[in-house]
Amino acid sequence: MFSYCIDPEVLGQFRWLSCYLTTGKHFAFYGSFATVLILLAITAPTALAFGFGGASIARSRIGPISWIGKGYIAIVRGVPDIAFFLFFVIALDQAFEFARHKVICPEWNEPIRQGSDFIVCKAAKLPLGNAPQWIHETYGFFLAVLTFAIVFGAFAANVIFGAMRAVPKAQLETAEAYGMSRRQTFWRILVPQMWVFALPGLSNLWMVLIKATPLLFLLGVEDIVYWARELGSTKNAKFTSYPHGDWRMQYFFFLLVFYLAFTKVSEVVLDRIMKRLTHGQATAGGEAQRKAAV
């Protein structure tokens, strides 16, 4: 990065550190923070969409349809997250490849399942073997986002389902008495009001999602935990120009500060959103605002 970084062995402590912190691997480490933030920015609304869809299906009056929504909520909530994170990445990858295989290679006459191996034609592989590295990384990130969305969507569905049931039934009956259809009552009365009841649970889920981002490391994505472990482990002069001892504690302490700062900012933003939603509402939050204004 700097012109004086040609020979690290003759540098003073400050210059050595400035050169060390501006290596290519460190820039990859800094970029991995953007990976985490992008994951959250994409996963949160996607999981919310899964949750809203799951809750809407779960409250259906048609039994089999309702069972699908409730089953999705119960199954994902009842199995450890780590099991689903490891399962979905493999299952989704094989499902996509199987679909491509059926379309691209209809003449294939060998079994796809051969013992414990899953074999499809080369043209159906995702991504292709000769694809650039960034495509492999993007595909892995896509699978991670989809996995996060499916898992946390189930928890969001449970929160939203409970929030929908918390909306006073009398208001729904009044809307129907005024001649609103079920669809109009759902979108104009139920959905706008249920967010007040859902936000506390969704806020907690957002915090859990933030803390779950280190699982990217287990999904094969080079996130901040991967690079903290990689850069912090002991390095000697045989493998690097910047040898050092075991610095993992320092790197992970930096991650600790990052996550604490990020969750604090999230708390402030969510608190403001909650105050805005509960303003004038017949809820505990709305009552507290009215008393504070007197």
User: By C-alpha distance, which of 290, 260, 263 is closest to 275?
Assistant: 290
Output the CA–CA distances (angstroms, integers) from residue 179 to 63, 167, 176, 186, 193, in the order listed: 26, 19, 5, 13, 19
Is 290 a residue whose pLDDT tops 50? no
- Rounded to 10 degrees, the C-alpha dihedral 68/72/74/79 comes to 150
CA separation for the pair 137, 144 (Å, rounded) = 11
User: By C-alpha distance, which of 225, 218, 221 is closest to 134?
Assistant: 221
Tokens at 201, concatenated: 């649970």
Fold of 3-293: MetI-like fold (1.10.3720)
CB-based contacts of 257, cutoff 8 Å, min separation 6 = none
In tens, the pLDDT along 111-128 reads: 888 777 788 888 888 887
Percent of the chain with pLDDT over 70: 93
Is 20 a residue whose pLDDT tops 50? yes
Output the CA–CA distances (angstroms, integers) from residue 67 to 48, 51, 57, 62, 159, in the order listed: 20, 15, 8, 9, 17
CA separation for the pair 235, 243 (Å, rounded) = 5
pTM of the model: 0.80
Collapse the DSSP code of 161 into the 3-class scheme (helix H, G, I; strand E, B; otherwise coil) and give the result: helix
In tens, the pLDDT along 271-281 reads: 888 888 776 55
Tell me the CB-side half-sphere exposure of residue 35, using CA atoms within 13 A.
25
Tokens at 138, concatenated: 């993007």
The residue assigned the tokens 């492999």 is: 136
